[in-house]
Chains A and B, each alone.
Chain A
Amino acid sequence: MNFTITRQNLHSGLASVSASIPSKTTLPVLSNILFQAENGSVWMSGTDLDVAVRIKVPADVRQEGSLTAPGKKLQDITKELPDQPVELATMGSQLELKSGRGHFKLNGLPADEFPTLPEVDFDEGWRVTGTDVNRLIHHTSFAVSNEESRPILNGVLWELRDGAMRMVATNGHRLARMGVPAESGDTSSADFIVPPSALQQVQRLFKKDEVLEVARSGNHLGFRAGAAEVYTRLIEGTYPNYDQVIPRDNDKVATVDKKALESAVRRMAVVASDQTHRIRLKFESGRLHLNVLTPDLGEGQDELEVGYEGEEIEIGFNANYLLEVLRYMPTDEVDIAFKAPERAVTIVPSEAENLDYLCLVMPLRLLD
């Protein structure tokens, strides 16, 4: 392998790939980046075995070939190189780097030790816009579970349907769901459970205005646009029937100023128990009364004017869950809908019928 590449291309290629390299690993080759030089361009790949990123950068290839070399070290050197062409070549098991009078040799590992990336046929897939995908990821992936006993909930459910797609995430205590219209190609509908770390790479690498090709191969999903590719292992299993637990009969609705509620909840949270983070919301006609009482700590009360006509009802919440959900609500006002203190509460953006976004928070049981 022997090629010349601009410093800029080398740098941006390394930057794109190195975010997928695990910081700690017991498998040395995973701290390396795989270089594959073929006519007119070089592919760089990195993976942590769950998610892989592959980038194509233009280069003047004199001799085709491949090698892996330490990603972090290469990145650190490249950062400090002067802006002039860089020559990279294989020297036995080493990668030789020349730039002006600078000359480095880094110990590499043979390319065949690098994990093979899944083969995905992008002709057999879907086309979605970067804008839509990024939006769905942004508004839902925060809600995945961190607890490892139900791996399915550690992923984001991505539903592709004819004319629409949706993402859903939940940890069983709160849930986020967003949908957008999407022109599906000719392919059938599909459900994927995608690790959030893969979605992070997608968000990072693909620009809003790009059209993404998405395709599945066995247990893997591939994303491709321009010169970048992301591959991920899918989480296997059936996602719980979330649709069934989203209440349709929450007939009491309060319209609340999002900013005001957010900061009121944040104030309450200061005095909430650091274990349960419990605060209470009491909806009364025209008013929302917030209060918190934590033995050994203290108490707090506050009140907001809200649009609410229904009967008085008090609901306990984990303040953190409320805050998370509010943070992602895209409108100034939100509609909070509920039925009874122990039932699921839904929160949606106010007056945004064309926006298919819903968050759900399960209440805390109030013992009195």
Chain B
Amino acid sequence: MTRRIHVLTDVVANQIAAGEVVERPASVVKELVENSLDARASRVEVALMRGGKGGIRVSDDGIGMGREDALLSLDRHATSKISSSSDLSDIRTFGFRGEALPSIAAVSRLNLDTREADQGVGTRVVVNGGLIGTIEDSPRQRGTTVEVRNLFFNAPARAKFLKPVSVEARTVSDALTGLALANPRVSFMLTSGDRRLLDLPAVDDAAARVSQVWGPEQGGALILVSTEDTGLELKGLIQRPDAAKPGLGRRYLFVNGRPFKAQKLVQAAERGYRTTIPQGARPWMFFYLQVAPGVVDVNVHPTKAEVRFSEASHIEDLFESAVRSALADQMSSATLDRELAAPRLLVHESGEQFKVRGADTDAQMALFIADAEVGDAAEGQPVTELAASRPNLWQVLNTYILAETRDGILIVDQHSAHERVLFQRLMEAFEAGGQDGQRLLFPLTIRLTPPELELVEELQGLLDRSGFEVEPFGGDTVIVRAVPNPHPYFNAERAFREMIEELTQGSELVRSAKNQHEKIAMTFACKGSIKAGQQLADAEMQELFDQLFSTDLPHHDVHGRPTIIRLSATELARKFGR
């Protein structure tokens, strides 16, 4: 029997963010399951009686404890996970305070049943409100079982705050789901009374775990996010924009395998979705961050729910740009496929040793490694590269363009596609000074309503830089002397009128813009782009296609709708029963 646990010195103990660890059954389960994961369990089972208010049992098949450690584990500041202050800056385990077991034991009747692999017999300790009662041999298998009954029997003030059984059970389930997502290779089971709430056999990767929890449709709606930076690696699964719906968005963040909450990072990721999803849609997201020692401090919150990053705003930017580039990928486009394979995302689980590359690694090298990893992770996913650099294009219903890819077909909405093109062009042109205006032989005289007139005066500078040279013409009329010329079928007068009308009256699109420039660029894109119903010559289709794929987000228009819908060969084969 080797002793692993020791009591931290006061110096170290005092540096730990202390506070109330045990609030409700979910916090007990979280602490106990984290202990199981720290003990490298491959299987964790949680059983609740009356939502945990009656009893909680957590069993694992981890490394277990010897008798001496079992007793020591119940002492305050007794831990096997750190020993000195310097360890606090590189915590790789969930636990590090030596607080959880004694805190739980103090407010319940607790049985600890544990056996180390190399021990002939296990140990059973019975604790009552923090006082050790019996210690006896236990015949159990390798691993640990902690049973907590009569939670808060000696703390009625806290018992009062417990919620109805169903609410407590759901909170436990949510907490366990977070840990299960962080550790897909561990199997989890949660029962409440005789109901099975979670049954998650071990799987290879995070997306498979998402599929287990919420169903394969949800797993198939995810795309990969992957980026790296000095001392930091961000991987994730986010929802395809066409699958993002308003309502409850599942958002989970993990840093070095530890779940944490950070509204700012979620918001940054949402910014990455800008223009690709409708207002109000709440895409699901699962982010797995691996950081080098020193980048994150997990010792800031008593229940470790929050963490602190040394360069918080930099990490926010990274989230935003990682989402952005995932949405630039073909896999982010809408699809007609019904049974989609979930992407594969291998995550580094807690406790696992993970080396994040330092700043000194050659940048060129990094590129190759990143590539190889992404390729590996995306294995099993269709490759939707275009079949040829110049695929055959067909126009359908004078509205859609069909193109062949290596793995099926793309259906492009010509209007939406051109919207994306015009939006990006005008935004870029704004940065470079403005967009050319074609002077007109017959200037347009346009009557406006008083509010429209006011708006045109207010926006004159920006309209000018969009290519519309507008001058007041007296009364309620303006004269337009030059207009942008985005395509041969452009109806300048109509586009101008509709733009001004929409800008004056407001619309969902206008409200989604983050500034005046975007407002103008979005409405111009919307009103000025090639219309549905416009017949296009082959060369025009080709040009539109090329222009679309030279934008940053070719698969999404500016209203949060798709520009492209994929249909894979696999789905076709399925439909035809091949």
Interface residues of A (CB under 8 A from B): 146-149, 170, 172-175, 240, 242, 245, 273-276, 278, 295, 316, 318, 342, 344, 360, 362-368
Contact between B465 and A367 (Cβ–Cβ < 8 Å)? yes
Q: Would you call A173 and B465 a contact (CB within 8 A)?
A: no
B 466-489 to A, binary, CB cutoff 8 A, 1 in contact else 0: 010100000000000010111011
Known: A149-B494, A274-B547, A295-B432. A364 touches B465 (CB 8 A): no
Bound form: Cα–Cα A342–B489 in Å: 23
**Contact: B547 with A367, CB < 8 Å?**
no
The answer to whether the Cβ of B103 comes within 8 Å of any Cβ in the partner chain is no
Q: B543 near A274 (CB under 8 angstroms)? A: yes
Contact of A276 with B441 in the complex, beta carbons under 8 Å: no
- Kindly supply a per-residue 1/0 record for chain B positions 172-201, scoring 1 wherever the CB is within 8 Å of any chain A CB and 0 otherwise: 000000000000000000000000000000
Q: Kindly name the residue among B432, B434, B441, B494 whose own CB sees the greatest number of chain A CB atoms within 10 A.
A: B441
* Contact status of A275 and B441, CB under 8 A, knowing A147-B490, A365-B436, A367-B434: no
What 11 additional pairs, Cβ within 8 angstroms, besides A146-B489, A367-B434?
A: A149-B493, A275-B425, A275-B485, A276-B436, A344-B439, A362-B440, A364-B438, A365-B436, A365-B437, A365-B482, A368-B433
| CA gap between A174 and B435 in the complex, in Å | 20
B303 at the interface (CB under 8 A from A): no
* Smallest beta-carbon distance A273→chain B, Å: 8
Chain A hits for B469, CB < 8 A: 365
* Residue in B432, B441, B494 whose CB lies within 8 Å of A173: B441
- The answer on a CB contact under 8 Å between B439 and A170 is no
The reply to whether A316 and B494 form a contact with Cβ atoms under 8 Å apart is no
- Chosen A-B contacts, 20 in total, with CB atoms closer than 8 Å, are A146-B489, A147-B489, A147-B491, A149-B491, A149-B493, A149-B494, A172-B441, A173-B438, A242-B441, A245-B442, A274-B543, A275-B425, A275-B485, A276-B436, A318-B438, A362-B441, A364-B438, A365-B439, A365-B467, A368-B433
B446 CB, nearest partner CB in chain A, Å: 13
- B428 interface residue (CB < 8 Å to A): yes
Docked CA distance A266–B467 (Å) = 24
- Kindly state the separation between the CA atoms of A367 and B468 in the bound complex, as whole angstroms: 12
CA distance A344 to B489 in the complex (A): 22
Name the residue on A nearest B437 (C-beta). A365
- Bound Cα distance A146, B482 (Å): 18
A116 to chain B, nearest CB (A): 29
Contact indicator B489/A318 (Cβ below 8 Å): no
**Are B436 and A278 interface neighbours, CB within 8 A?**
yes
Instruction: Check if B491 sits within 8 Å of A173, measured CB to CB.
Output: no
Q: Mark B427-463, 1 if CB is under 8 A from A, else 0.
A: 0100011111111111000000000000000000000
**Could you tell me the distance between the alpha carbons of A173 and B443 in the complex, rounded to whole angstroms?**
10
A273 cross-chain contacts in B, Cβ below 8 A: 436
A154-B374 Cα distance, complex, nearest whole Å: 53
Contact yes or no, A364 B437, CB < 8 A: yes
**Residues on A with beta carbons closer than 8 Å to the beta carbon of B433:** 367-368
In the bound assembly, the distance between CA atoms of A316 and B428 in angstroms comes to: 20
Known: A274-B543, A365-B467, A365-B469. A245 touches B441 (CB 8 A): yes
Q: Once bound together, how far apart are the Cα atoms of A173 and B435, in whole Å?
A: 17
B contact residues, total (Cβ < 8 Å):
28
Q: How far is the CA of A328 from the CA of B37 in the complex (A)?
A: 81
Smallest CB-CB separation from A175: which chain B residue? B441
Please, how many angstroms separate the alpha-carbon atoms of A146 and B439 in the complex? Answer: 18
Q: Do B491 and A146 touch across chains, with their CB atoms under 8 A apart?
A: no
A residues within 8 A CB of B488? 146-147
| Residue pair B485, A316 in contact (C-beta under 8 Å) | no
User: Would B442 and A364 count as touching, CB distance under 8 A?
Assistant: no
Contact yes or no, A172 B440, CB < 8 A: yes
Give the docked Cα–Cα distance between A147 and B467 (Å).
19
Q: Given A147-B489, A148-B489, A367-B465: A173 and B440 within 8 A (CB)?
A: yes
In the complex, how many angstroms separate the beta carbon of B396 from the nearest chain A beta carbon? 14
A149 to B490, CA, bound (A): 9
Determine the residue in chain B with the shortest Cβ distance to A174. B441
* Contacting residues, chain A, for B441 (C-beta < 8 A): 170, 172-175, 242, 245, 344, 360, 362
Q: How far is the CB of A356 from chain B (nearest CB, A)?
A: 19
> What CA separation (Å) do A363 and B437 show in the bound complex?
9
Shortest beta-carbon distance, A343 to chain B, in Å? 8
- Could you say which of B438, B490, B491, B543 contacts A362, with CB atoms under 8 Å apart? B438
Q: Which residues of A contact B434 (CB under 8 A)?
A: 367
In the complex formed, the residue of A with least CB distance to B543 is: A274
B436–A173 CB distance below 8 A: no
* Min C-beta distance of A324 to chain B, whole Å: 12
Give CA–CA (A360, B433) in the complex, Å: 28
B442 to chain A, nearest CB (A): 5
Contact partners of A240 in chain B: CB under 8 A = 442
- B541 CB, min distance to chain A CBs, angstroms: 14
Write out the residue numbers on chain B whose beta carbons fall within 8 Å of the beta carbon of A172.
440-442
List of A residues within 8 angstroms of B485 by Cβ:
173, 275-276, 318
Q: Are B439 and A275 in contact (CB under 8 A)?
A: no
A233 to B204, CA, bound (A): 72
7 tightest A-B contacts by CB? Answer: A367-B434, A149-B491, A365-B437, A362-B439, A276-B436, A364-B436, A365-B482
- B residues in contact with A344, CB < 8 Å: 439, 441
Q: Residue of A at shortest CB range from B421? A: A275
B489 near A364 with CB under 8 A, answer no
Instruction: Compute how far the CA of A275 lies from the CA of B437 in the bound complex, rounded to whole angstroms.
Output: 11
With A170-B441, A365-B467, A367-B436 known as contacts, the answer to whether A275 contacts B486 (CB < 8 A) is yes
Please give the distance in Å from B271's CB to the nearest CB on chain A: 25
The docked-state distance in angstroms from the alpha carbon of A146 to that of B543 is: 18
Chain B residues with Cβ below 8 Å from A367 are: 433-436, 465
Q: Which residues of B contact A362 (CB under 8 A)?
A: 438-441
Q: Which residues of A contact B440 (CB under 8 A)?
A: 172-173, 362
Residues from chain A with Cβ under 8 Å of B486 in the complex: 275
CB-based contact A363/B428 at 8 Å:
no
In the complex formed, the residue of A with least CB distance to B444 is A172
Q: Which of B480-509 contact A (CB under 8 A)?
A: 482, 484-486, 488-491, 493-494
A276 — which chain B residues lie within 8 A by C-beta? 435-436, 438, 484-485
